[in-house]
Structure 1
């Protein structure tokens, strides 16, 4: 997210071609996610004293590198340069595959699949299904139950926000 200190917080500095997706106002800050095609810019506008020029604020914390990358993207957009995918804000390949697996597991639960069906249909598709007491005490069962709990937490916490990049 790019933090912009500006004297006129009501005047959103939308760049040509960018449209607001999400807006929220809280106290003296105005939050905005703007999009142009697949490119997204996340802005936080903070009120500054009159007569001050617009400034980008990069806090020196654990996210400083990500903030600097976001500020660079914002600066490129203000000059009308092409924006590629936002690799810093995008989930990694591992994270994407895990989220897809969790959503597949939730779809399976909604379709009435049992934990054993999920385990050997989605989680361990190359394993031979276990039966009886072997299944009850298996690490496959425990792992599958953890994934089911993660899938439920993902749905409860608002997984659809992933699609909007909020």
Structure 2
């Protein structure tokens, strides 16, 4: 059974995924928007795609792109996961993660000084958050602000 054609269009700010159920000439396009907790975000994406087909997409809706801080933090967490997941990464300590990724100019030594430092606590939080994203937390990122809201 043929399920149509799937396309991905990209501009400088977003990716648009399009599923054409039929490619018969003269059949008008229609948007199908799921009515779930992300209906508002899905609607904004459909409106933006419609503008993209016509006059240009305009700015993306709020929540489509991470802020500069969020992008830097997410990049850091990816680097942490890469370090921990690489072959031989089982012996990587939180001090190694801090020294190699988070605090490249780290002057805190090992032992008691490291164990009581704020750098260690921040490093442990970032490692835990990175692992949480890897184990399914990334879905909330993909959902945008609506996906990070607690539902009633």
Q: TM-score of the superposition, structure 1-length normalised?
A: 0.54
**What pairs up with 1:148-159 in 2 under 5 angstroms?**
148-157=127-136, 159=138
Deviations 1:127-160 (A, max 9, x none): 2132211111111111111111011111111759
- After TM superposition, what 4+ stretches of structure 1 lie above 4 angstroms from structure 2? 54-57, 66-69, 158-163
Q: 1 or 2, which has the higher strand percentage?
A: 1
Deviates more, 1:126-135 or 1:81-90: 81-90
| Residue equivalent to 1:109 | 84
Pair 1:37 & 2:10 matched: yes
- In structure 2, runs of 5+ residues without a counterpart are 19-29, 145-152
Q: 1 or 2, which has the higher helix percentage?
A: 2
Matched pairs, number = 123
Deviations 1:82-122 (A, max 9, x none): 33673631222111111110010111112322110111221
Cα distance in 2 for residues equivalent to 1:126 and 1:68: 46
Cα distance in 2 for residues equivalent to 1:148 and 1:139: 14
Q: What CA RMSD, in Å, does the superposition of the two structures yield over aligned residues?
A: 3.9
Alignment counterpart, residue 143 of structure 1, candidates 104, 122, 125: 122
Shift of 1:42: 6.4
Q: TM-score of the superposition, structure 2-length normalised?
A: 0.59
Alignment counterpart, residue 86 of structure 1, candidates 52, 60, 77: 60
Pair 1:123 & 2:102 matched: yes
